[in-house]
C-alpha cells in the first residue's frame, strides 16, 4: 500500500548579499512528503510597519543546499515563468558506497499575487524507475517567510521530508576537470564514477549506462546567481535504455557551481536534466 502525506515548507531570507534560504517542515499523516519552490513576480513594497512586505520578483531564484537525515538535498530555482520548468531539486537519499542515485524533482510554478503560487504537477524520479507526480501550493507570509504544502509525494523510505537548506553563492565558471558520479534510474539504477571537462564551447560527451550523451551548457543568471542552462541529447543507440525506440531523446535542466563541502576540494558541480515526463539523470562532481 502506497502511503501518502502532506507537508509545509518555510522559506527564510538570508542576511548577506540578498541571498535566500529555505527550510522544509513536514506535517505527516501516515508517511512522508516532498517540497519545491518557484520565483516571484510581484515587486517589493511595504505600506507600513504593520503590513508584511510584498515579495520581490526574484525572491526565490537561486541555488540552495542542505541536509535531510544527514543526506544532501540541493535545488535551483530559475527566473523562468510557468509553464516552463523553473524548479529542480536533487535529494541524495541513497549515497552508500558506489550507489549515488539522487531522487530528482522538477516542477513549474504558476505565480499569483502577494507571493502566492501553485505547482500543479511536481514530478519525482529516482525512488523508482517510474515517474511519480504530486502537487504543491505556496502562500506568502512576508518577504522573510513562505509556506509550501505538498501532496501525494513521499520520501523513498516513507518518512517525512524536512530538509534545512540555505541559499549559497554560486560561481560563473565551469572550467577544470570535475571528478564525480553520473546517475540515472531509467530501468535499473545506473551510476558511473567519471571525470568530465567541458570544452571552450561548454560541451562534453559522456558515456555511461549503455548510452552516449552530449551535454551542452549556456551561461545564465537568476537573481544575481550564476548558473548554466543545460541541454542533453541522447541519440538512438542499441542497448541504451533512454532510446528504446527509433527516436533520439532531448532533455533540459540546470547546472550550478558552489563551494564544495569536501575536505581538499574547493568547488562542487551539480547538474540535472529531465525530459518532458520528468525522467532524467544527474551529475555531482568536485574539484
**Count of CA atoms in the C-beta half-sphere (13 A) of 166:** 8
Position 253 in a domain:
yes
Tell me the residue range of the domain where 61 lies. 6-167
- The answer to whether position 277 is within a domain reads yes
- Asked if residue 118 and residue 31 are part of one domain, the reply reads yes
Specify the 3-state DSSP secondary structure of 276: coil
Which residues of the chain, if any, have pLDDT below 70? 1-60, 81-83, 94-100, 109-119, 127, 136-151, 153-165, 187-188
pLDDT of residue 157: 64
Give the total number of structural domains in the chain. 2
Pick the last residue of a domain from 167, 191, 208. Answer: 167
Task: Determine, yes or no, domain membership for 172.
Answer: no
> Are 16 and 155 part of one and the same domain?
yes
In angstroms, the CA 60 to CA 37 distance is 7
Is 151 among the domain residues? Answer: yes
Residue 81 host element (H or E): none
Which pLDDT value is given to residue 139? 55
Q: What is the pLDDT of residue 278?
A: 93
Q: Nearest-CA neighbor of 13 among 53, 43, 46, 67?
A: 53
Please indicate, yes or no, whether residues 239 and 103 belong to a single structural domain of this protein. Answer: no
pLDDT for residue 144: 36
Contacts of 56 (CB under 8 A, 6+ apart): 40, 42, 43, 44, 143
Confidence at residue 37, expressed as pLDDT on a 0 to 100 scale: 36
Q: What per-residue confidence (pLDDT) applies to 75?
A: 83
* Residue 147 CB burial class (10 angstroms; 0-12, 13-18, ≥19): middle
Owner of C-alpha cell 581538499:
264
Residues 131 and 213 in one domain: no
Residue 21 CB partners (closer than 8 Å, separation 6+):
11, 12, 13, 14, 64, 165, 166, 167
Question: Could you report the per-residue pLDDT of 183-231, keeping only the tens digit for each?
Answer: 888 866 778 888 999 999 999 999 998 899 999 999 999 878 899 999 9
Amino acid at each position: 500500500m502506497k502511503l501518502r502525506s502532506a507537508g509545509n515548507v518555510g522559506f527564510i531570507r538570508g542576511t548577506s548579499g540578498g541571498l535566500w534560504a529555505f527550510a522544509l517542515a513536514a506535517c505527516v499523516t501516515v508517511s512522508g512528503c516532498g517540497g519545491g519552490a518557484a520565483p516571484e513576480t510581484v515587486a517589493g513594497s511595504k505600506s507600513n510597519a504593520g503590513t508584511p512586505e510584498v515579495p520581490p520578483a526574484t525572491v526565490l531564484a537561486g541555488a540552495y543546499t542542505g541536509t535531510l537525515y544527514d543526506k544532501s538535498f540541493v535545488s535551483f530555482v530559475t527566473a523562468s515563468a510557468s509553464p516552463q520548468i523553473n524548479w529542480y531539486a536533487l535529494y541524495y537519499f541513497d549515497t552508500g558506497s558506489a550507489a549515488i542515485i539522487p531522487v530528482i524533482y522538477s516542477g513549474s510554478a504558476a505565480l499569483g499575487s502577494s507571493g502566492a503560487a501553485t505547482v500543479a504537477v511536481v514530478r519525482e524520479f529516482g525512488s523508482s524507475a517510474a515517474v511519480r507526480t504530486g502537487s504543491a501550493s505556496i502562500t506568502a507570509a512576508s518577504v522573510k517567510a513562505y509556506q509550501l504544502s505538498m501532496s501525494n509525494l513521499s520520501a523513498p523510505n516513507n518518512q517525512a521530508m524536512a530538509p534545512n537548506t540555505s541559499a549559497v553563492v554560486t560561481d560563473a565558471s565551469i572550467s577544470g576537470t570535475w571528478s564525480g558520479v553520473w546517475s540515472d534510474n531509467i530501468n535499473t539504477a545506473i551510476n558511473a564514477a567519471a571525470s568530465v571537462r567541458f570544452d571552450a564551447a561548454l560541451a562534453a560527451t559522456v558515456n555511461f549506462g549503455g548510452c552516449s550523451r552530449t551535454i551542452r551548457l549556456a551561461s545564465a543568471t537568476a537573481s544575481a546567481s550564476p548558473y548554466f542552462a543545460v541541454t542533453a541529447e541522447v541519440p538512438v543507440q542499441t542497448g541504451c535504455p533512454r532510446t528504446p525506440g527509433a527516436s533520439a531523446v532531448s532533455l533540459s535542466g540546470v547546472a550550478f557551481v558552489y563551494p564544495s563541502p569536501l575536505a581538499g576540494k574547493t568547488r562542487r558541480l551539480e547538474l540535472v536534466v529531465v525530459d518532458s515526463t520528468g525522467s532524467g539523470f544527474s551529475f555531482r562532481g568536485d574539484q
